[in-house]
Amino acid sequence: MLDTTHIGHRFPPFRVPLEAGRLAFFCRTIGETNPLYFDLQVAREAGLPGVMMPPTFLFSLDLESPQAWPVLTLLDMDIAKVLHGGQEFEYLKPVYSGDSIEVHSQVENIVARKGGRLELVELQNHYLDRAGEMVARAKVTLVYCND
């Protein structure tokens, strides 16, 4: 069983720059066709300060923690027994290339299911822009198999 005393644990925040080329690469990878997400010239002609950050890009930021999902270390989880159970986003304002995002993550809950054979680890992530304004938040659910 995972140690529930870690509920409420806050991980050290980290900051990731949003470079236009990196966002364009992400868009090519996911098949994004809207040029506002990858073509800097089109974005500027539309009056935007840079290319828009694609909404699903936030998930890739979660993986950039210096420890690459430090919750695995904190809870002594075997990565072979972890599934990404889901992720819900709430977007508060758009973000553009040239900015940076600071990621704040906390263990919200640990819930046993199936008589303890499965455990759900719920994380709450907050994403802040360079000005310190929250631009999005996400609830991440990891499923841990104890069998």
**Amino acid 35: pLDDT:** 97
**Amino acid 147: pLDDT:** 78
**Amino acid 111: pLDDT:** 96
Instruction: pLDDT tens for the chain, 147 residues: list them.
Output: 899 999 999 999 999 999 999 999 999 999 999 999 999 999 999 999 999 999 889 988 888 877 768 999 999 999 999 999 999 999 999 999 999 999 999 999 999 999 989 999 999 999 999 999 999 999 999 999 987
CB 140 within 8 A of CB 133: no
The CA distance from 122 to 116, in Å, is: 16
DSSP-based three-state secondary structure for 145: strand
**Amino acid 4: pLDDT:** 96
**Amino acid 17: pLDDT:** 95
The CA distance from 112 to 8, in Å, is: 17
Side-chain half-sphere of 138: how many Cα atoms within 13 Å?
Answer: 21
- Interior CA angle at 142 toward 137 and 147, to 5°? 170
Q: Say which CATH topology domain 9-145 has.
A: Thiol Ester Dehydrase; Chain A (3.10.129)
* Reported pTM: 0.90
